[in-house]
Amino acid sequence: MQFFRIFRPLGNNRVPLKALQGCSYSTATEAVHNVTPYKLHRLEEGPKTTVTYGRDEALKYYRQMRTIRVLETTAANLYKSKIIRGFCHLYSGQEAVAVGMEGAITHEDSVITAYRAHGWTYTRGADVRSVLAELTGRKTGCANGKGGSMHMYAKNFYGGNGIVGAQVPLGAGIAFAHKYKNEEKVCIALYGDGAANQGQIFEAYNIAKLWNLPCIFVCENNGYGMGTSMARSSASVDYYSRGDYIPGIWVDGMDVLAVREATRFAKDYALKNGPIVIEAFTYRYHGHSMSDPGTSYRTREEVQEVRQKRDPIGKFKDVIVQAGVVSEAEIKKIEEEIKKEVADAAELAKNDPELPPEELYTHVYMDPPPNFKIRGCDDSILAATR
């Protein structure tokens, strides 16, 4: 990986930024970064491997990734304290995928993912408090405390889906809606390597290509489907090529800028030509869920090595600091702000009001008629709904 120093004029002189890195704040406005080469399937040309990014983008991406990491660490602690119950799947290690892709689309584009959804919910526009409050089952949660970890929603974010792989054909349907309405929008449908062998994935590929739907199928390949490594579950681990007749791209999912460029390319392609597959090669630090220690099928040394050598946040910090677009002082300030923001949100999420029992019967039907009632678990319960 190469880094380029950007120079900025000071009077009649041009001073390398390296000489200015002792300052509290950086002075560069943009920099250039070389990404790991992409692998291509049925494409003659792929995304740019030399990426230009601005100072504001660097600050935004770092803040978003760090916020997701601290949010997930907080969620893990709340789960261990039995404040969060039920299923809980953490996104730590995969932050560059959500942040990079969000950097290449707009909030008018659509996203649907599986149950590892906390980070995506945040990048789609939900604030930290509403994500944590959803996890604790509070009224202020992004789904009013009814969805929990696996069923979070935001504008043009369709979850958060608990059935393995089932969100992918739904994503094709959302892409169909965009095309039917003549909208210049795409749908990103995400799934993991564990879901990649599901038959419904290939059914979705087929109909998407048959109708040339603006769908970006994204395999977040973190190496393990529950407790099974991809090598033990898949005859072909080149997930980017498994769309067969659909073009595909492999991207380093631990590099936020590489992910952004791959998604930019994919969005442009999908709007003009139809579906495309992205395999984002990433890693999860925690177990499959909080009930999985994540150490029976991989070594602690493996996890530690990834943390040291491939961590998306640490790598990006090195890139932007060495390029001079962000200073160490600014990084520290951002981290302190995030720590406080998430800690405050966690306290609110623990103390916000819980849903009253009658809310069990609401949001069952859309726009029910006045005085409409629904039956509970037995004939003795007839409850009002809305």
3-state SS record for 316-336? HHHHHHHHCCCCHHHHHHHHH
Range in 46-55, 130-139, 249-258, 374-383 the model is least confident about: 374-383
| DSSP state at residue 252 | E
| DSSP state at residue 82 | T
Angstrom distance (rounded) from CA 217 to CA 143: 25
Write down the pLDDT at residue 9.
37
pLDDT of residue 319 exceeding 80, the answer is: yes
Write down the pLDDT at residue 15.
35
Cα Dmax for the chain: 85
Residue range 102-135, pLDDT digits in tens:
999 999 999 999 999 999 999 999 999 999 999 9
Tokens 């980017």 locate to 240
- The residues pairing with 40 across neighbouring beta strands, listed in sequence order, are 249
Q: Tell me the pLDDT band of 24, cut-offs 50, 70 and 90.
A: low
Backbone φ, ψ for residue 14 (5° rounding): -120, 110
Range in 6-15, 182-191, 363-372, 375-384 the model is least confident about: 6-15
In the chain, the percentage of residues whose pLDDT exceeds 70 is: 93
Write down the pLDDT at residue 25.
72
Range in 56-60, 293-297, 321-325 the model is least confident about: 293-297
Write down the pLDDT at residue 1.
45
Write down the pLDDT at residue 80.
96
pLDDT of residue 279 exceeding 90, the answer is: yes
Q: Which of 61, 51, 53, 132 is nearest to 95 (CA)?
A: 61
Q: What is the mean pLDDT of residues 181-202?
A: 98
Write down the pLDDT at residue 122.
98
Average pLDDT, the chain: 93
The amino acid present at 8, given as its one-letter code, is R
Q: CB-based contacts of 277: which residues, under 8 Å, 6+ apart?
A: 41, 205, 216, 217, 218, 219, 239, 240, 241, 242, 243, 246, 247, 248, 249
Backbone φ, ψ for residue 135 (5° rounding): -65, -35
pLDDT of residue 4 exceeding 80, the answer is: no
Classify the C-alpha dihedral 303-334-104-120 as positive or negative: positive
Q: Tell me the pLDDT band of 188, cut-offs 50, 70 and 90.
A: very high
The amino acid present at 2, given as its one-letter code, is Q
pLDDT of residue 250 exceeding 70, the answer is: yes
Length of the chain: 386
Range in 89-98, 130-139, 293-302, 373-382 the model is least confident about: 373-382
Q: Tell me the pLDDT band of 286, cut-offs 50, 70 and 90.
A: very high
**Do the Cβ atoms of 298 and 285 come closer than 8 Å?**
no
Write down the pLDDT at residue 377.
85
Angle at Cα 295 formed by Cα 289 and Cα 297, nearest 5°? Answer: 95
Please measure the distance between the N-terminal and C-terminal CA atoms of the chain and give it in whole angstroms: 56
Q: What is the mean pLDDT of residues 360-366?
A: 91
Write down the pLDDT at residue 249.
98
Q: Tell me the pLDDT band of 380, cut-offs 50, 70 and 90.
A: confident
pLDDT of residue 6 exceeding 60, the answer is: no
In the chain, the percentage of residues whose pLDDT exceeds 90 is: 89
Angstrom distance (rounded) from CA 321 to CA 157: 33
Residue range 30-81, pLDDT digits in tens:
999 999 999 999 999 999 999 999 999 999 999 999 999 999 999 999 999 9
pLDDT of residue 22 exceeding 60, the answer is: no
Q: Tell me the pLDDT band of 8, cut-offs 50, 70 and 90.
A: very low
Q: CB-based contacts of 252: which residues, under 8 Å, 6+ apart?
A: 35, 36, 258, 259, 281
Write down the pLDDT at residue 357.
87
